[in-house]
Amino acid sequence: MSGRINKPAGKPQTPSPLVKSSAQSKRGLNTRSPVLSPTTYKSPHSAGKSLKLKDSSITSIDVLDSPTGSSLCRSLFDLEKCPCNLSQESWLIDCSKCRQYWHTKCVTLDGLSKKDYNKIVNWLCPFCYTAPVSTADFSNDASCLTCRNTKTLRDANHAFEVSAAAAKIKSVINIGDISGPSDSLLSQENSIRCIESEMKQMNEACQTDIRKLINEVCQLKTELTNLSSTGPDTLHASHHSSESTEQLLATISCKIEALSINESSITAGLNELKQSVASLRSTDPHPTVPSRPPLPPDSNPIFPVHPTRVPRTGCEIPHVPHRQIPVSDTKHEFLEQTEANELKVFFDSCSFKPESGHSVMSFGSPYQYTGSKSSSNVPPIPDILKPLLERINNVQSELYRSLYPDQPFLTPPEINSCLVNKYQGSDSFLPRHADREMTIHPESSIFTISLGQSCDVTFTERESGTESSHPCPDRSLYIMSRRSQEVFDHEIEKGSMPAGTRYSLTFRCISWTHNNSTCLIGDSNTRFLRFGSNKRGTFGEQMPGQKFWAPKLKDIDPVSCMGYSNVVLLCGINDIKESQIQCESDVADCYTLLKQKIKQIKLLSPCTKAVFVCQLLPTKDLTLNRKVNDFNRLIHFDLFPSCKDVEYVEGFRQFVCNRVLAAELSMHLDRHGRFDMLHLNRAGARVLASLIKQSVFLRVHGGVDKRRHTGRVNGRLYSSVVEARLHPSGMVDGCQEFDPTLKKKKKKKAPVLDEPAAEIINDMKKETDELANDLEDFSLTKKKKKKPVNIEELDNDKALEDLGEFDPTMKKKKKKKKEAVPDGEDLPLDNDLNDFGDFDPTLKKKKKKKTTILDDELGDDTMDSSGDTWVTSERDYTYEELLKRAVDMMRDKNPDMQAGEKKKYVMKPPQVLRHGSKKTSFANFLEICKMLHRTPKHVQDFFMAELGTSGSVDGYNQLLIKGRFQQKNIEGVLKRYIREYVTGDVPHSINSFIRVWGWH
Ligand SMILES: O=C(O)CCC(=O)C(=O)O
Ligand SMILES: [Fe+2]
């Protein structure tokens, strides 16, 4: 198999001449048509001598036929480069079917020796490979050689050789025997193709023979006719008796007859063969899906542009089972009499704030609701309530455990807030409402304990208007679920309250983070995704929520989504992979079900701000991928445009369409090894989590930094950008660019942002202020503050310059100010001013403002090096003269510089540590940024560009860099940064106050 590139691939981007010529020569040998007909397709392996498997006659025909796989590779990837698009020290192996090259490393075949490598005859890449039904099939099915590692490859290759040899022997012995698929070493499909090939060869051979025979017969016939027409005399003349002539004619006629019989028997034999092939086909255990119209030529096969079909059925909303009752549980005499008495005494002494129909008092986490009069300055839970709170929390835990019995690691929401209502007299009431504030944890129940006068609470089902009354006797507890609040309102009707005093103690879990809670409903691909900020959590504390299991679309429970701000749906692959889903209309029906579920969710949870729908991820199964395409198409072209508040997971599309990410994805689909067609492994799940997190985050925070919505950002993978940006400290990614305009914008935006967004803004502000304060330590910045800068007009670089970089003109100004007045000399100025002004208009302006200062300075410099007095000269300054003057002026105003002394600043060296096996930590990154007076973002970008990797600042202010780097690498980059952006050795910026740096 040395015809493949038989040396490790260096840089796939710039293939070596050998790589190129090898690939080109192959291309010349076979077409890369997406549909490779078994009869026309010829493997390159059979063409080059080194590509041929010894004694194998079937190498070129045992490739499964799947147009999508080929076209997928064709349109998505450069066939000559591995889809990873990365430079790797690895062999390149090409797929026998689609001709896509892959690094052996990328297809986990690394470690191959040249010998092994040369043995590979027929290998199918992850795009083209369709897994056999069972492990047993795989071991026998050597014709479909896609292996996850070198060992299996060797084994399979060996099996292939054996099976090929066996097939050859069988075909020689008896072609008909091959029709029995069960005992054949070859798969049934393979057998068919073998026979077809044999038939073709036989057919050709037979037809040539027959043609020869027919020609001969024709010649004989003509000859015979000629002889007959010449008559017996002529025959006689040639010494043949008439009798013998007749005999001869009879013999010839017999021979012709025999030949005809042979011809018909050959034809019959061929027909027999054809029939056996037909019978084999009819017993094919894998019927093919009805053919579909071909995709538009330039469309992306994974995410095609045009929908081909709209759903067959309408989207009527079926009846939604609410499964909600207003009061989920009641406990009579929940309080002991003594406990109740004590509480009554306590509350009698408290001062309640009047609200509509009753008065209130809050403890613990502040609970704010429409019409609430309580301030956010709420007293903590008083000691007297603490035992009660503990009991309530126990009840809450029990409820939670019973709700999620199979998820014991989940922490139940902690009840942390108590709102006490006081009803005094028969005039009191409680307006109709529902406790559906987003600050209430979606999993929190609402516990109400009644004290004193009993009364009835009325519940009304909002949709139907059905009312029910719930009696609340003294010392009793009733529990409402947070979800029931989406369905029912409750109230104490006016006039229903008896005389007397009633206290109701309502307990809830208030969680501000749950203001933006997310409910993720998904199939097994969400298995690795976890909410929570603990170690297992993939979404982090910025995205609180709950995950619900829905292997199929029918399992999506709209009730579970109630009370969450965001709903993310990742489901459908198990539906469309069902065998009964065979054509586009079946897929459309699945899509319709999804649409119905979304409608139900929105109906039940009007509080839900958005439903995010994840498109289906491509799989390793190409037939399934066509259905995935159809499903995704419908989501994109029907669901998104038609359903308001249905959003797609940003980046998911890129994830699916982007070449690199798609390749990355295909490599992640191997959670259970080579037979897993669908599942992401942990790494893939992390990418998925990032994309979901980012979308929800952006939606929640008003689309902060939408610019980043590309598959690749600054050469970094989407996921890493997401990670960086969503990280608690990386949150300031946008602001780390240190764009001064942010400050302004933030101020404008602040009132409309959600709480976490406001926090981010505050963080950003803090950082901006901190940096500004740092900069104030330097005289430069003070001046800058005075300088009126229209920050809106500044571009990033300029902004950076204004905030941190040295501006010689500014410095001058300041010093000038200090020195100007006392030393004023009576020197001619106008020429200097004008000349200088011509040189640099900005300077001119400044000079005009501070004429006296410049008078002084320029007065000193009106002599050129040759001693000419410029004031008396008519000629203009030359550029060199002006430059020299400027430098002299700088020297003059910077005595250190003039004396040739360099101020030495000593800084800490970067602390470089290994972070896990694949990352490097630059531990004192932020500290060094501060010392440099450069924004972390700026420094980070430089580092990432220099190191050619990605990274992010984590919660410990360390820069985590992907890849392994040594101390000297980081030091080198840091020195370069300092040279380029700090000390000004190169003209990016100059900063005269930092001259020489050295490590401790
Ligand atoms: O007093 C009650 O029983 C109900 C109180 C209530 O609904 C509330 O505080 O939100
Ligand atoms: Fe309430």
Higher-pLDDT residue of 71 and 494 is: 494
CA–centroid distance, residue 786 to ligand 1 (Å): 57
Average pLDDT over the chain reads 63
Higher-pLDDT residue of 572 and 242 is: 572
Lowest mean pLDDT among 200-204, 678-682, 929-933: 200-204
- The last residue of one of the domains, among 854, 880, 898, is 898
Higher-pLDDT residue of 101 and 320 is: 101
**pLDDT one-digit tens code per residue, 721-743:** 222 222 222 222 222 222 333 33
State which ligand 1 atom lies nearest to the alpha carbon of 504.
Answer: 1
**Domain of residue 452, CATH code:** 2.60.120.590
98 & 233 share domain: no
Which of 359, 360, 369, 430 is the best mutation target for the ligand 1 pocket, counting ligand atoms within 8 Å of the beta carbon and taking the most?
430
Q: What percent of the chain has pLDDT over 70?
A: 47
pLDDT-based confidence at residue 200 (cuts at 50, 70, 90): low
Lowest mean pLDDT among 223-227, 565-569, 629-633: 223-227
How far is 752 from 546, CA to CA, in rounded Å?
26
Q: At 492, is the secondary structure helix, strand, or coil?
A: strand
| Residue 417, pLDDT score | 93
How many domains are contained in the chain? 6
**pLDDT one-digit tens code per residue, 844-858:** 333 333 333 323 332
| Residue 255, pLDDT score | 65
Cβ 131 vs Cβ 674: under 8 Å: yes
- In a domain, residue 734? The reply is no
- In a domain, residue 459? The reply is yes
157 & 259 share domain: no
Cβ 507 vs Cβ 418: under 8 Å: yes
Give whole-number Cα distances, 12 to 2, 4, 20, 101, 805, in Å.
Answer: 18, 14, 10, 10, 40
State which ligand 1 atom lies nearest to the alpha carbon of 419.
Answer: 9
| Residue 325, pLDDT score | 85
| Residue 219, pLDDT score | 74
- In a domain, residue 197? The reply is yes
- In a domain, residue 465? The reply is yes
The yes-or-no verdict on residue 422 having pLDDT over 90 is: yes
| Residue 384, pLDDT score | 94
The yes-or-no verdict on residue 303 having pLDDT over 80 is: no
**Domain of residue 931, CATH code:** 3.30.30.170
CA–centroid distance, residue 436 to ligand 2 (Å): 9
Burial degree of 447 (CB within 10 A; 0-12, 13-18, 19+): buried
**Domain of residue 623, CATH code:** 3.40.50.1110
Higher-pLDDT residue of 33 and 342 is: 342
| Residue 570, pLDDT score | 93
Which of 372, 422, 490, 501 is the best mutation target for the ligand 1 pocket, counting ligand atoms within 8 Å of the beta carbon and taking the most?
490
| Residue 712, pLDDT score | 26
Q: How is residue 90 annotated by DSSP? A: B
pLDDT-based confidence at residue 642 (cuts at 50, 70, 90): confident
**pLDDT one-digit tens code per residue, 221-231:** 677 666 656 55
| Residue 388, pLDDT score | 94
719 & 766 share domain: no
Higher-pLDDT residue of 825 and 499 is: 499
Q: Quick one: which of 442, 671, 668 has its CA closest to 565? A: 442
| Residue 701, pLDDT score | 55
202 & 262 share domain: yes
| Residue 442, pLDDT score | 86
| Residue 916, pLDDT score | 80
DSSP assignment string, 18-70: HHHHHHHHHHHHS---SS--TTT---GGGTSGGGSPTT-S-TTT-----HHHH
State which ligand 1 atom lies nearest to the alpha carbon of 491.
Answer: 7
CA–centroid distance, residue 294 to ligand 1 (Å): 62
| Residue 476, pLDDT score | 95
Segment of 426-435, 713-722, 808-817, 906-915 carrying the highest mean pLDDT: 426-435
| Residue 447, pLDDT score | 96
Q: What percent of the chain has pLDDT over 90?
A: 15
> What phi and psi, each to the nearest 5 degrees, are found at residue 103?
-70, 135
The yes-or-no verdict on residue 58 having pLDDT over 70 is: no
- In a domain, residue 287? The reply is no
- In a domain, residue 185? The reply is no
Q: How is residue 498 annotated by DSSP? A: P
What number of other Cβ atoms are within 10 A of residue 953's Cβ? 26
Nearest ligand to the CA of 367 is 1
| Residue 856, pLDDT score | 31
Residue nearest to atom 3 of ligand 1 (CA): 504
**pLDDT one-digit tens code per residue, 742-793:** 333 333 333 232 333 334 334 333 433 333 333 233 223 233 333 333 323 3
Tokens of 661: 């990410």
487 & 358 share domain: yes
Residue nearest to atom 2 of ligand 1 (CA): 504
- The last residue of one of the domains, among 710, 726, 742, is 726
Lowest mean pLDDT among 64-78, 409-423, 960-974: 64-78
Query: What single letter denotes the amino acid at residue 504?
Result: S
Query: What single letter denotes the amino acid at residue 301?
Result: P
Give the binding-site residues of ligand 1, using a 6 Å CB cut-off. 419, 421, 430, 435, 448, 457, 472, 490, 504, 506
pLDDT-based confidence at residue 245 (cuts at 50, 70, 90): low
Which of 457, 478, 481 is the best mutation target for the ligand 1 pocket, counting ligand atoms within 8 Å of the beta carbon and taking the most?
457
State which ligand 1 atom lies nearest to the alpha carbon of 472.
Answer: 3
Read off the pLDDT of each residue in 263-274 and give the average, rounded to a whole number: 62
State which ligand 1 atom lies nearest to the alpha carbon of 423.
Answer: 1
* Bridge partners for 613 per DSSP: 569, 648
**pLDDT one-digit tens code per residue, 912-963:** 888 888 888 888 888 888 888 888 888 888 888 888 888 888 877 788 998 8
- The last residue of one of the domains, among 726, 761, 791, is 726
578 & 677 share domain: yes
Q: In this structure, is the dihedral angle defined by the CA atoms of residues 568, 705, 730 and 510, taken in order, positive or negative?
A: negative
Higher-pLDDT residue of 265 and 797 is: 265
Residue nearest to atom 10 of ligand 1 (CA): 435
CA–centroid distance, residue 915 to ligand 2 (Å): 50
491 & 546 share domain: no
pLDDT-based confidence at residue 628 (cuts at 50, 70, 90): confident
- In a domain, residue 327? The reply is no
How far is 811 from 782, CA to CA, in rounded Å?
10
Beta strands in 390-522 (DSSP E): 417-424, 430-433, 445-452, 455-461, 467-472, 477-481, 488-492, 501-508, 518-522
| Residue 654, pLDDT score | 55
247 & 340 share domain: no
- In a domain, residue 7? The reply is no
**pLDDT one-digit tens code per residue, 350-408:** 989 898 899 999 999 888 787 776 666 789 999 999 999 999 999 999 988 888 787 77
CA–centroid distance, residue 466 to ligand 1 (Å): 19
The yes-or-no verdict on residue 706 having pLDDT over 70 is: no
| Residue 199, pLDDT score | 61
Distance of CA 337 to the CA centre of its chain: 59
Higher-pLDDT residue of 242 and 602 is: 602
CA–centroid distance, residue 348 to ligand 2 (Å): 22
CA–centroid distance, residue 457 to ligand 2 (Å): 10
Read off the pLDDT of each residue in 488-505 and give the average, rounded to a whole number: 93
CA–centroid distance, residue 399 to ligand 1 (Å): 20
Q: At 913, is the secondary structure helix, strand, or coil?
A: strand
Tokens of 398: 């029990």
List of residues 6+ apart from 879 with CB closer than 8 A: none
914 & 878 share domain: no
Lowest mean pLDDT among 33-47, 860-874, 961-975: 33-47
How far is 597 from 582, CA to CA, in rounded Å?
22
Residue nearest to atom 6 of ligand 1 (CA): 506
How far is 369 from 990, CA to CA, in rounded Å?
55
| Residue 532 C-beta-side C-alpha neighbours within 13 Å | 14
Cβ 503 vs Cβ 420: under 8 Å: yes
How far is 140 from 191, CA to CA, in rounded Å?
13
Q: In this predicted complex, what is the ipTM?
A: 0.99
Higher-pLDDT residue of 614 and 787 is: 614
528 & 649 share domain: yes
Burial degree of 16 (CB within 10 A; 0-12, 13-18, 19+): middle
* Residues spanned by the domain of 421: 332-510
State which ligand 1 atom lies nearest to the alpha carbon of 502.
Answer: 1
39 & 105 share domain: yes
| Residue 522, pLDDT score | 93
Cβ 95 vs Cβ 123: under 8 Å: yes
CA–centroid distance, residue 456 to ligand 1 (Å): 11
pLDDT-based confidence at residue 452 (cuts at 50, 70, 90): very high
607 & 755 share domain: no
DSSP assignment string, 738-755: --THHHHHHHHHGGGS-H
Which of 334, 448, 472, 479 is the best mutation target for the ligand 1 pocket, counting ligand atoms within 8 Å of the beta carbon and taking the most?
448
